[in-house]
């Protein structure tokens, strides 16, 4: 048995309940056995959580674990270790692996390997089209059968409207299944490397217009009206996209949206020296876009913070800005960023645990800290000041390197077992 003592415990499941109270949490086996004032008595271990938040472990619905196929960047074991260091107890692995997760046996193998590593719950997203080529729908029903609920060709949009419509009609027939779109009109981003605006013009770098994102989402919303499929918008970066999502939600469409920690923190002014650790898609946009994203997270228009954890090695990133691969890591720094940006700590658990678990249909995740619930728990210290320099991830392509952060996950419990403990704390 493990006793987590004296933390501010997140016991509700909705933001409106304002659900924090100072309590002890007793874990027995893989369940929460008691919440309240608990005597240490027979426990094996006591964790002092005073001053810390205790809540459901974080859930990342947008992680690139790079296995199979690109394991020099990351693999399921190293990605799981990075996840627990960041306080995550579950991730959804993106299907742009090699081979891609476009059939059940590959997705099944990723989930099996995740369970074998045993640090977190590894769920798999399935590709919407065979080979992620955007032409022929994948085996949607077969993937669903093996547990896949999120379907995406992430890294690319499905451009062909007829292909996307037929995929969405099939997904609409499967309870809990959703389309998760990477909105990018490829024709508008061919020679682009950063947000199209005055900074790109000054640096003489090809621009990526916000319209490349906005126009895809606008088109997709028509397909949601037509098919009724659940739709999740990945990595929203532009104010115009936020506006579309706000209206679609008001209209009652089954829409959710995510934002990344890097889009909440940085804007294109961070690109002055063309550091390739700030290159990703969608790109860091304007100061105004960043402000709108923060507001949208705090007013609930954006449901989820997802990392888009995309490892690339230092060697791969050590090239010109134009040639460097897109993507940055994010699992280890995400919660600190969210803690700094949200107007209330309940919003952190809502956007990093409750909502992503619900969107991904992960029934053992994002649960309130209450008796009988699965012991998937994070102890987060909102006061801990640190500056990331080394990472548990196999790759270190983080824009937060050398960036002072406040807030850190001290302890992660998965299925009742301590899977991460920050050395020198808790």
Catalytic site residues? Answer: 308
Sign of CA dihedral 265, 267, 273, 274: positive
To Zn ion, the closest distance from the beta carbon of 301 in angstroms equals: 20
Q: Are 270 and 248 in contact (CB under 8 A)?
A: no
Question: Number of helices and strands (H, E) in the chain?
Answer: 13, 18
Three-state secondary structure string covering 144-199: HHCCCCEECCCCCCCCCHHHHHHHHHHHHCCCCCEEEECCCCHHHCCCCCEECCHH
Which one, 192 or 374, has the nearer CB to Zn ion? 192
Which one, 49 or 93, has the nearer CB to Zn ion? 93
To Zn ion, the closest distance from the beta carbon of 165 in angstroms equals: 21
Which one, 154 or 215, has the nearer CB to Zn ion? 154
Distances (CA, A) of 309 to 14, 45, 109, 110, 157: 27, 33, 20, 17, 18
To Zn ion, the closest distance from the beta carbon of 154 in angstroms equals: 4
- 32 Ramachandran zone, left/alpha/beta (phi>0; psi -120 to 50): beta
Footprint on this chain of Zn ion (rule: CB under 5 A): 154, 182
Tell me the two tokens of residue 363: 């029934």
Q: Is 285 helix (H, G, I), strand (E, B) or coil?
A: coil
Residue number, nearest CB to Zn ion: 182
**CA-to-CA distance for 224 and 230, rounded, in angstroms?**
7
Q: Are 270 and 287 in contact (CB under 8 A)?
A: no
Distances (CA, A) of 164 to 50, 159, 182, 219: 50, 7, 12, 11
To Zn ion, the closest distance from the beta carbon of 155 in angstroms equals: 6
**CA-to-CA distance for 30 and 416, rounded, in angstroms?**
4
To Zn ion, the closest distance from the beta carbon of 347 in angstroms equals: 24
| Continuous H helices in 228-308 | 239-250, 261-265, 287-298
To Zn ion, the closest distance from the beta carbon of 378 in angstroms equals: 25
Which one, 260 or 376, has the nearer CB to Zn ion? 260
Which one, 57 or 356, has the nearer CB to Zn ion? 356
To Zn ion, the closest distance from the beta carbon of 308 in angstroms equals: 6
Which one, 52 or 310, has the nearer CB to Zn ion? 310
Place of tokens 């889009």: 263
To Zn ion, the closest distance from the beta carbon of 234 in angstroms equals: 5
Which one, 197 or 283, has the nearer CB to Zn ion? 283
Furthest-apart CA atoms within the chain: distance in Å? 67
Distances (CA, A) of 46 to 261, 358, 390, 425: 32, 31, 29, 13
Which one, 75 or 154, has the nearer CB to Zn ion? 154
């Amino acid at each position: 048995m493990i006793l987590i003592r004296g933390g501010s415990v997140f016991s509700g499941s909705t933001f409106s309940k304002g659900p924090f109270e100072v309590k002890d949490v007793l874990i027995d086996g893989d369940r929460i056995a008691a919440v309240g004032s608990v005597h240490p008595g027979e426990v094996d271990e006591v964790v002092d959580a005073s001053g810390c938040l205790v809540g459901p472990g974080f859930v990342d619905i947008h992680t690139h674990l790079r296995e199979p196929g690109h394991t020099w960047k990351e693999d399921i074991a190293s990605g799981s270790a990075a996840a627990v260091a960041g306080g995550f107890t579950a991730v959804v692995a993106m299907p742009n692996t090699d081979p891609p997760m476009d059939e059940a046996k590959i997705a099944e193998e990723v989930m099996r390997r995740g369970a074998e590593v045993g640090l977190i719950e590894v769920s798999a997203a399935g590709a919407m089209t065979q080979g992620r080529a955007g032409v022929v729908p994948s085996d949607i029903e077969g993937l669903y059968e093996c547990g896949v609920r999120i379907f995406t060709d992430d890294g690319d949009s499905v451009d062909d409207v007829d292909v996307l419509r037929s995929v969405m009609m099939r997904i609409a027939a499967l309870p809990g299944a959703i389309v998760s779109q990477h909105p990018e009109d490829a024709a508008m981003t061919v020679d682009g490397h950063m947000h199209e605006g005055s900074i790109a013009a000054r640096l003489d770098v090809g621009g990526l217009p916000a319209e490349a994102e906005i126009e895809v989402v606008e088109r997709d919303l028509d397909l949601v009206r037509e098919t009724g499929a659940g739709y999740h918008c990945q990595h929203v970066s532009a104010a115009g996209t936020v506006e579309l999502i706000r209206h679609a939600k008001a209209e009652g469409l089954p829409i959710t949206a995510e934002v990344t920690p890097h889009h909440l923190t940085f804007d294109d002014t961070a690109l002055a020296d063309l550091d390739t650790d700030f290159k990703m898609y969608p790109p860091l946009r304007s100061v105004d876009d960043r402000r709108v994203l923060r507001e949208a997270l705090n007013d609930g228009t954006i449901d989820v913070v997802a990392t888009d954890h995309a490892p690339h090695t230092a060697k791969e990133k050590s090239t010109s800005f134009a040639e460097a691969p897109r993507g940055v890591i994010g699992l280890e720094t995400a919660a600190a960023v969210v803690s700094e940006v949200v107007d209330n700590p309940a919003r952190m658990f809502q956007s990093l645990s409750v909502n992503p678990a619900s969107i991904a249909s992960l029934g053992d995740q994002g649960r309130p800290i209450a008796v009988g619930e699965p012991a998937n728990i994070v102890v987060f210290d909102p006061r801990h000041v640190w500056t990331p320099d080394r990472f548990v991830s196999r790759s270190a392509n983080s824009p937060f390197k050398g960036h002072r952060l406040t807030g850190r996950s001290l302890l992660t419990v998965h299925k009742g077992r301590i899977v991460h403990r920050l050395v020198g704390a808790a």
